[in-house]
Chain A
């Protein structure tokens, strides 16, 4: 599936939840539970994304030109948010990630659901994921 197709899938899932704010938040938390296990030794200061109120650890590795992300957080909602980003961007080429237009965030009205503090955090997560992609792209092209 393309990045856009995955985004549309997510948009459709959130549409089912409709205007029920509480259920939407519960759903985001549930998504967080599906994150793959994060290595405990990577829960260190240098892997923390700056600009998030809660703690979010993010690491990335490159396999055959694709980037694989792993993340964790100390809060369930944040875990859910980063799991959505990972679902859209994982195992894709650096170019795809760098160019990705993550319009699903706006389309599902995420800003309104999670509030301004967490929206800033979400923006920081995206930035950090794209920075990883940029770094791997430079490395691959070297």
Chain B
């Protein structure tokens, strides 16, 4: 499909509304993207025609629902170029995917004195599970520092590596700064010391081409709702041998082979990690979301978003009092900033008065905010349906706010 932003906007019903009497400008895409009509129709269609519990059903509806559900698993496999469909596990989201690894892989393979490496720019969901694990196992959490521009201090990372390193869990693209980390290099360096590497792909999967075989990561976590899909759904990719070596996560239906009161044997991957009735409707609709992305192609999406980011840097950068946080050379379409030391929440509310939706605060990255000596930022994050003219309006709003404080 040829890239036409107006045509794309036509596919997103939610964009066509007024907020406080002004046309909605949605720049909170790093928090969650809007959903194209195809995703909404898929959800409705599933509940209107196919609703049924999947796997093991002896009737037509169950068969259809199972087929559509498993089709999405294949779509995800292709989307990240996994070797096998069984390497795709459905979860509640990136947070659950990371916790799953911490509670299964972590509990089995990480012991006293072992080390886990994360970075300063991690989301709380890629900090807290490891802190809990380290506490339980008396393991050690190491943190890669960052430079003032928001780039990872790669030299410092290499110094943290040792034979004690059992896992590196790192964000692919920072939600708060937009920084794209050199993950391929990190994965290679991690493997060289025998560590496994988990990529937090929550922010990267909607912007960047992802090829888990080429990257050679051991795990990848992502969220459907940041990828034009429904909320409450995510994916954990893991290499087959690693997943097979891990104990189950939650116990219940679907994940067993045979249960007696004496002993239970577990199902094969991916079902071993999918206890209980899964989020069937949302998984099926997620297939439509991936189809939307594939139809446009990541190349066109990235080109459009890069153009928006460059335009935003230019327009906002010209405003006196504009203070960008995170100016890495390689970024996804996220721009984090403060204005004249004003509280981000105040700025957010003033932009909201113009119908502009941004996120304000610490973005679940408190250690990162502390690193910059700030309480939070205003974050505008762009997506496939945003336009340069919307960015001009953001710049106009920011300029007005900066002016009242410059008085």
Which chain A residues have a beta carbon within 8 Å of chain B's beta carbons? Answer: 19, 21-22, 24-26, 29, 53-54, 74-77, 114-115, 118
Contacts and interface: CB of A to CB of B under 8 A. Distances in A.
B404 A26 contact: yes
Contacts of A118: 349
Contact of B342 (A26, A53, A76, A115): A76
A22 to B, nearest CB: 4
Closest 4 pairs between A and B when the two form their complex, measured CB to CB = A75-B343, A21-B353, A22-B353, A77-B346
The binding surface of chain A is classed by DSSP as helix
A121 to B, nearest CB: 10
B373 interface: no
A22 B350 contact: yes
Interface in B119-134: none
A74 B21 contact: no
B330 interface: no
Interface of B: 20-21, 342-343, 345-346, 349-350, 352-354, 375, 400, 404
Nearest to B344: A75
B407 to A, nearest CB: 10
Contacts of B343: 54, 74-77
A29 B350 CA distance: 10
Nearest to B350: A25
9 contacts: A22-B350, A25-B349, A25-B350, A53-B345, A75-B342, A75-B345, A75-B346, A76-B343, A118-B349
Contacts of A24: 353
Contacts of B350: 22, 25-26
A51 to B, nearest CB: 15
Nearest to B375: A74
Residue among B342, B343, B354 with the highest chain A CB neighbour number at 10 A: B343
A132 B350 CA distance: 32
B18 to A, nearest CB: 12
Contacts of B400: 22
Given A22-B354, A25-B350, A77 B20 contact: no
B348 to A, nearest CB: 10
A54 B376 CA distance: 11
B20 to A, nearest CB: 5
A74 B354 CA distance: 23
A54 B20 CA distance: 24
Nearest to B400: A22
B353 to A, nearest CB: 4
Given A19-B21, A22-B350, A25-B350, A54 B404 contact: no
B401 to A, nearest CB: 9
Contacts of A77: 343, 345-346, 349
Contacts of B354: 22
Contacts of A21: 20-21, 353
Nearest to B20: A21
Given A19-B21, A29-B404, A76 B346 contact: yes
A25 B342 CA distance: 14
A117 to B, nearest CB: 8
Contacts of A26: 350, 404
A27 to B, nearest CB: 11
A139 B164 CA distance: 63
B21 A25 contact: no
Contacts of A22: 350, 353-354, 400
B251 to A, nearest CB: 38
A19 B21 CA distance: 10
Contacts of B404: 26, 29
A54 B350 CA distance: 16
Q: Which residue, B350, B375, B404, has most C-beta atoms of chain A within 10 A?
A: B350
B196 to A, nearest CB: 39
A95 B404 CA distance: 39
A54 B345 contact: yes
Nearest to B354: A22
Given A19-B21, A74-B375, A25 B345 contact: no
A117 B342 CA distance: 18
A136 to B, nearest CB: 31
Contacts of B352: 115
A78 to B, nearest CB: 8
A115 B349 contact: yes
B29 to A, nearest CB: 20
A25 B375 contact: no
Given A26-B404, A29-B404, A114 B342 contact: no
Contacts of A76: 342-343, 346
B266 to A, nearest CB: 45
A26 B347 CA distance: 11
A81 to B, nearest CB: 11
A61 to B, nearest CB: 27
B402 to A, nearest CB: 13
Contacts of A75: 342-343, 345-346
A21 B20 CA distance: 8
A25 B349 CA distance: 8
A74 B375 CA distance: 10
